[in-house]
A = this chain, B = another copy of it.
């Protein structure tokens, strides 16, 4: 089914069908109705490739996800779902590219094959080759997370430094003096992964300001890592009475380690952190945490990207999210 067939059946020119559907020039009510009838009957929709070729835009966004080797966390998954959803709401399609570096074939296709009008990137490194590549290719993009040069680029991000800092202050207010930070994996932190280093910054700054003893621990993105990490903390640093975590995938393990050690939360140990609401509510007792607004972040990423696509000269915009800490039941006064 193509526009020529619609035109033939409605007894008009192809251009008239095009205009009737786009509304870009007036069409008499009579012919518009006749065309619409045929269109509805045959369930016609313009061929995407032909339209993209002619218009020079694909009405498609690229979403670069970590390759399957690196398992996606619930938060990343939420971003994928929310980006797809937000794009669908404005009639944009989303093309998935599971790429790690900058020389991946599917990533290259997106760019030089002009498969998409713009790209959303997740799991950004402070120095990210994919960002360089997109800039060089002149492809509009928005990152979820920011690079080391955040002023020049378009992004949405969580303010990990301030969130972790707030967590520390909250624990300090409750009287805790000896606390731990459960960070992401050592590999990620070493690779210059933003959340890792910014959580570190926020933690050391706040710990120092409040005169606390703070220890930092890297931890893999899974429950077993969380369990062994916290088990280690409990045995080797018995003075520690509270922890703040940005590693949500480790939470089930954190919980298990505390239970095994017979620590009551929050009576004899407090836990606070940054996590998707679902993870926070799955914790027992429910986790006092800054709830990551992943749905909103995905939606804003799409919004920024469409804006940048519409005006390639526009000055860079970003959005830093610092959601409030939701008090649930996992943090209490320090035992004395």
Q: Are B77 and A72 in contact (CB under 8 A)?
A: yes
| Chain B residues whose CB sits within 8 angstroms of the CB of A49 once the complex forms | 48-50, 52-53, 58, 114
A88 within 8 A of B: yes
Q: Are A45 and B88 in contact (CB under 8 A)?
A: no
- Which residue from chain B places its CB closest to the CB of A104 in the assembled complex? B88
Task: Given A43-B112, A47-B113, A282-B224, answer yes or no on A96-B256 (Cβ-Cβ < 8 Å).
Answer: no
Q: Which of A64-97 contact B (CB under 8 A)?
A: 65, 67-68, 71-72, 77, 80-82, 84-85, 88, 91, 93-97
| Chain B residues whose CB sits within 8 angstroms of the CB of A99 once the complex forms | 88
Q: Are B1 and A112 in contact (CB under 8 A)?
A: yes
Separation of A115 and B259 alpha carbons in the complex (Å)? 52
Residue among B48, B97, B112 making CB contact with A93, cutoff 8 Å: B97
A8 CB → nearest B CB, Å: 18
Separation of A77 and B68 alpha carbons in the complex (Å)? 10
| Chain B residues whose CB sits within 8 angstroms of the CB of A295 once the complex forms | 68
A108 within 8 A of B: yes
A237 within 8 A of B: no
- Which residue from chain B places its CB closest to the CB of A105 in the assembled complex? B91
| Chain B residues whose CB sits within 8 angstroms of the CB of A132 once the complex forms | none
Separation of A253 and B46 alpha carbons in the complex (Å)? 49
A133 CB → nearest B CB, Å: 10
A113 CB → nearest B CB, Å: 4
Residue among B88, B95, B108 making CB contact with A60, cutoff 8 Å: B95
Q: Are A63 and B96 in contact (CB under 8 A)?
A: yes
Q: Are A71 and B112 in contact (CB under 8 A)?
A: no
Task: Given A49-B49, A77-B77, A93-B106, answer yes or no on A112-B252 (Cβ-Cβ < 8 Å).
Answer: no
Task: Given A224-B281, A282-B252, answer yes or no on A98-B88 (Cβ-Cβ < 8 Å).
Answer: yes
Q: Are A98 and B112 in contact (CB under 8 A)?
A: no
